[in-house]
Structures are given as C-alpha cells and as structure tokens.
Amino acid sequence: MKKLHILDSTLRDGAQGEGVSFSVSDKLNIVKALDNIGVAYIEAGNPGSNPKDIEFFERVEQIELKNAKLCAFGSTRRKNLKVEEDDNVLSLLKANTPVVSIFGKSWDLHVQEILRTSNENNLELVYDTVAFFKQQGKEVIFDAEHFFDGYKANPEYALEVLRSADRAGADVICLCDTNGGAGPDETFQICKLVVELFPHREIGIHCHNDTGCAVANSMLAVAAGAKHVQGTFIGIGERCGNADLSVTIANLQLKQGYDCVSSDLAGLSSAVYAIAEICNMQVPNDRPYVGLSAFAHKGGMHIDGVNKCSHSFEHVSPESVGNKRRFLMSEVSGRTTVLAKLGALAPELRKDSPETALIVQRLKEMEHVGYQFESADASFELMVLNILGRFRPHFKLIMYKTSGEYPSPDGELSAYAMLTIEVDGKTETAASLGNGPVNALDLALRKALTVFYPEIAKVHLTDYKVRVLTAEQASAATVRVLIESSSGEKTWTTVGVSTDIIEASWLALVDSIEYFLR
C-alpha cells in the first residue's frame, strides 16, 4: 500500500470552530482517541496562546502514545525580533514535542497588509524560524498559509516562500487553502506543480470546506503527489470547517489503496462518535461511512438486493468501518422488507406466513395514523412481539394525572405528576415534581417501577423530539414523539403518537421502559 501521513488538527484548528470549547481533560481524551485510530501526527495547539494549552502540554507528556507524534503549532518569528528572542517561538520549544508546525505567509497581500513588512523580510522570517527548529533537532512542518490564493495572485513569490522553507530544511511543506476557496481542478494542478518542483520534500495539503470541496480537494492533492494530509476528524473548524478526516481517510484507504492510519478502520465509527461526544456534537445521520443512515435501506427492491448480494447496494461493508446495516420500516415496506428486519427476532417467519401479513398490515395502519418506525426500532420490535404473542407487559397503568403551574414556585419545577401502576397484582402509587409535565411523569413512573425493578435506575433519556403531523389542526394537531434512551451500554429509540402531547410522550416512554425490561 502507498503510505500517507495524516495530521489531525482537531485540538487546534477544530477548536476554532463555532461552539467548540475543550477542557484540558477533553483534549487529553481526544489525543487518546486519535492515537488509537492511528494518525501519524496530532496537532495539539499553540502552547504560547493561553494557560489551558500550557497545562495541556505539561499533562500530555504523561500519556504514552502508540502511533502518533504530538505537534506544537505556532507562527514564524515576529518581524522585529530575533528568532531566539521571540517568546512565542520559545514556547514551542517548552512544549517539548518532537514535531512543530510553523505557519508563514505565502500570499504577498498578507505580507504587505497584515504583517506590514516587505516580501524579502517575510522570506527571512520563514527561513530563520524553520532553521532554528531544525537546529534544535525538531521535525518541522511548514504550513504555507493562503498558498493557493498567493499562487494565483503572485505565483513566483508564493513559490519563493516554499523555497525559503525548503532551504531551511523543513521536513514537510504543506499547502494551505486557508479560506477554503480553491476548486478541485486548480488544487490538483497547483499541487502537481509543487510536487514536481520539490521532489525531495514531502508535500502536504490543508483544506477548508467553504465550498464543500475540502475532502475532494484533499483527495486530488494526493492524486497529484501529496503524501501528507491535514484535517479534523469530524470536520470541525473555523467557518465551514476543515476536511473531514473520517471521510478522507476511508476514501483513500478503502477506495484507493493508501495506507493512512496504523489501525483497522473497523474502529472508525467508534472513534468518530467518541470525539463527537467530547465536542458535545451530534453525528449527522447521513455522515458518510459512520452515520446512522450510511447503511440504512428502506426501499423494498434495495433491501431485496442487499439480502441477495450486499455489495450491489453497499459500496463497502458496514463492518469495515465499524458501522452496521439497518432495514427501515415504513408504509411502503413489503413482506420482503419485514422479513429482512425480523431476521434475528423471528427467523422462522416466511414470506407466506400469516403472521408476516399481519405485521405488514399493522405497520401500514400505524403509519397511517402517524407512527414512524424508521428511527424507532425498539417500538417496532415490541409491536412485532405483541402480534406474535411473545410479549407480556411488565406493568399496567391504572391512572396518571399531571398538572402545571405558571409561573412555577421555584422557577424550575413547574409541573406535578401522580400515577398508579400494577405489577403482578400489586399496585404502587408515586408522585413527582418535574421540569414540565413529561419530565414529572417520567420521574413518577421511574419512582413507582423501582419498587419492582431496581435496574430501572440504569436507564436515562438522552433525546426527546416532537413532530407536529397535522399542522392545519393548530393546537389540536396530532404529534409524534420520539424518545431516545440509554442504559450506558446500549441506546434505543421508541415512538408514540396522539393528539395529546403528554399521551404521545407516555406511549413512547412506556415502550422505552418495556424494551429495557424485556
């Protein structure tokens, strides 16, 4: 396989994305996740920029990395200081990382308007800083900031900046599309020219996603001869983000035969979700390779094709990236779809089984009134078990009552709920205050059920969604409630539908608890 070096900048460029803020512990956990997936470099931030990064670089030395090298990031020396007198430069040495990334201006517009210095002086800044770190025994990556804009505006000067870094001994010369405006064709052509001009240097690519082309541009740079690829693992970063490495790596490794990371890509999905969780972000369902919908099939013909020959509708196997295949249930589902979905639950069913016909009929009836089982596998499973006569409820509702108060007495707990349930002939009544009637009802149910099923304490709600289905009926509209629950080890989703939002929530909540108890 052809070897590429991947540099992840989640902790530096990713931290510049809107809404992203890492604690030191967050950063340390991301380092571990990236090292496990096997990237070559982890760009860990600018040690001279803030106390948090200073603390991080002190603590990260205690982590023994198996695959990645840590990289401190900073700029060329300031124009009015010698390199050995520049505190920002010296802070990179104090970070004690084996690799440093130095960014320098390669667009003469920035040299003159931002740095307010001469083109010649900028070349000296680049040379002096790279040479200084090479003399200190560091591996040096030179990031040519705004290179593509600089090349289009003044190609000879942009290339002269690269020559300065080259003469100083930079190990990698990385071409940065800093404002994300370069197109795929020009990215390929310019990278190809640079690779040919510097055959003795490793050329890198750093793309932003302002035109939606960051992954494509990164791949085309590799096609042009780049051997070093930068990005962030879930695509976060300033403005529209950076090249999404989870997609870039999978494309290059699975599709084009490059050796990108040192681990098996079967850990790709878990790494993405772990990093997204630390970033307090949701992974979009349609995220390539790792999204919940990446291997989800709904059309009957598609499902039939997948069952007969999986690669006829799946460009890679779900297992190769740590994902899994899903069959979606809807009103357009036929018996073939239902059988595919029931493979593990009721393998004895056949296409002509009367139970199969009943399940399909019930599915269409429930979806007609507003149910949707695409994202509510747990409710679908309970419905099927009920039709097959294999489901016995763990509890029975006798009654519930909710009330709300506005403004709430303490400013938070605005609702009250009371309910009575029955379990094996014994009743239990419980009441609770909550932040709204659904929360109060949830807490009261858990309080009552804990008497009979203490393991309920493990379950907690992780998401709650309401969808209005008949908007023309205004406040009397039918609503669909989706509840996502977790036990800490497994996550499942249930659905409820009613013209009463509390009843719809109750139905989804009951399914959630029943699924767990089963």
Query: Does residue 181 lie within any of the structural domains?
Result: yes
Q: Rounded to an integer, what distance in angstroms lies between the CA atom of residue 363 and that of residue 495?
A: 13
pLDDT of residue 60: 93
Using a 10 angstrom Cβ sphere, with 0-12 exposed, 13-18 middle and 19 or more buried, the burial of residue 408 is middle
pLDDT of residue 305: 74
Give the model confidence (pLDDT) of 464-488 as tens digits: 888 887 766 666 788 899 998 888 7
Query: Does residue 308 lie within any of the structural domains?
Result: no
Please say which residue of 263, 289, 321 terminates a domain.
Answer: 263
In the structure encoding, which two tokens stand for residue 121, read together? 């002086």
Query: Does residue 366 lie within any of the structural domains?
Result: no
- Residue 383, CA atoms < 13 Å, CB-side half-sphere: 28
Q: Rounded to an integer, what distance in angstroms lies between the CA atom of residue 348 and that of residue 320?
A: 29
Per DSSP, what are the bridge partners of residue 203? 173
3-state secondary structure of 426: strand
Query: Does residue 47 lie within any of the structural domains?
Result: yes
CATH of the domain at 400: 3.30.160.270
Question: Angle at which helices 184-197 and 155-168 pack, to 10 degrees?
Answer: 50
Q: Are residues 37 and 180 in the same domain?
A: yes
Place of tokens 């979806």: 367
Query: Does residue 375 lie within any of the structural domains?
Result: no
Query: Does residue 485 lie within any of the structural domains?
Result: yes
- What letter does residue 312 receive in the DSSP assignment? G
The count of structural domains within the chain is 2
Q: How far is CA 401 from the centre of its chain?
A: 40
> How many other C-beta atoms are found inside a 10 Å radius of the C-beta of residue 468?
14
Q: Are residues 400 and 258 in the same domain?
A: no
Backbone angles phi, psi at 296, to 5 degrees: -100, 130
Single-letter residue type at 402: T
Please say which residue of 213, 245, 263 terminates a domain.
Answer: 263
Please say which residue of 207, 242, 263 terminates a domain.
Answer: 263
How far CA 19 is from CA of 241, 287, 405, in Å, comes to 12, 20, 34
Query: Does residue 192 lie within any of the structural domains?
Result: yes
Query: Does residue 257 lie within any of the structural domains?
Result: yes
Domain that holds residue 122: 2-263
pLDDT of residue 333: 56
SS (H, E, C) 431-491: EEEECCHHHHHHHHHHHHHHCCCHHHHHCEEEEEEEEECCHHHHHHCCEEEEEEEECCCCE
Is 33 within 8 Å of 275 (Cβ atoms)? Answer: yes
Length in residues, the chain? 518
Question: Angle at which helices 377-387 and 501-517 pack, to 10 degrees?
Answer: 70
What would the DSSP string read from start to end of 73-112? Answer: EEEPPPTTS-GGG-HHHHHHHHTT-SEEEEEEE-SHHHHH
Burial 423-442 (b: 16+ CB within 10 A, else e): beeeebebebbbebbbbbbb
pLDDT of residue 243: 98
pLDDT of residue 331: 53
CATH of the domain at 86: 3.20.20.70
> How many other C-beta atoms are found inside a 10 Å radius of the C-beta of residue 100?
27
- Do β-strands 139-145 and 99-105 pair in parallel, antiparallel, or remain unpaired? parallel
Which residues does the chain have with pLDDT short of 50?
none
Is 174 within 8 Å of 206 (Cβ atoms)? Answer: yes
